[in-house]
Amino acid sequence: MGIDWEEKMFEKARIKLTLWYLLIIMAISFAFSGIIYKGVADELEVRLNTLEHRIMMKGEIPSGPPPEFQPYFIEGLEIAKNRVLLILIYTNTGILMFSAIAGYFLADRTLRPIEKALEEQKRFVADASHELKTPLTALQTSMEVTLRDKKLKLKDAKSVLSESLEDIGQLTNLTNYLLSLTKYQEDKNGLEFSEVNIKEVVGSAYKKLKALGSKSEVDIKIKVNKQLISGNKESLEKLMVILLDNALKYTPKGGKVTIDSKKDRGCVRIFVRDTGVGIAKKDQPYIFERFYRADQSRSKANVQGFGLGLAMAKRIVELHHGSIKVESVEGKGTTFIVKLPA
Summarised one tens digit per residue, pLDDT across range 232-273 is 888 899 899 989 988 988 898 889 999 999 988 888 999 999
pLDDT band (50, 70, 90) for residue 304: low
Q: Last residue of a domain, which of 168, 186, 204?
A: 186
Return the DSSP state at 188: S
Higher pLDDT, 62 or 7: 7
Section 73-98 average pLDDT: 76
Q: Are residues 159 and 232 in the same domain?
A: no
Query: pTM score, two decimals?
Result: 0.59
Distance CA 231, CA 239 (A): 12
296, pLDDT greater than 60:
no
Q: Are residues 138 and 176 in the same domain?
A: yes
Q: Are 270 and 338 in contact (CB under 8 A)?
A: yes
What pLDDT is stored for residue 71 in this prediction? Answer: 60
Q: Are residues 138 and 265 in the same domain?
A: no
pLDDT band (50, 70, 90) for residue 127: low
Section 71-77 average pLDDT: 62
Residue type for 270, please? I
Section 37-45 average pLDDT: 75
Q: Are residues 56 and 174 in the same domain?
A: yes
Q: Are residues 21 and 158 in the same domain?
A: yes
Domain count within the chain: 2
Higher pLDDT, 247 or 2: 247
83 phi/psi in degrees, rounded to 5: -65, -45
CA-based angle 229:233:234, to the nearest 5?
155
Q: Are residues 228 and 329 in the same domain?
A: yes
Q: Are residues 101 and 224 in the same domain?
A: no
What pLDDT is stored for residue 297 in this prediction? Answer: 40
Distance CA 139, CA 134 (A): 9
338, pLDDT greater than 90:
yes
Distance CA 248, CA 305 (A): 13
CATH number at residue 259: 3.30.565.10
Range of the domain at 97: 1-186
Higher pLDDT, 98 or 3: 98
Q: Are residues 139 and 199 in the same domain?
A: no
Distance CA 332, CA 250 (A): 11
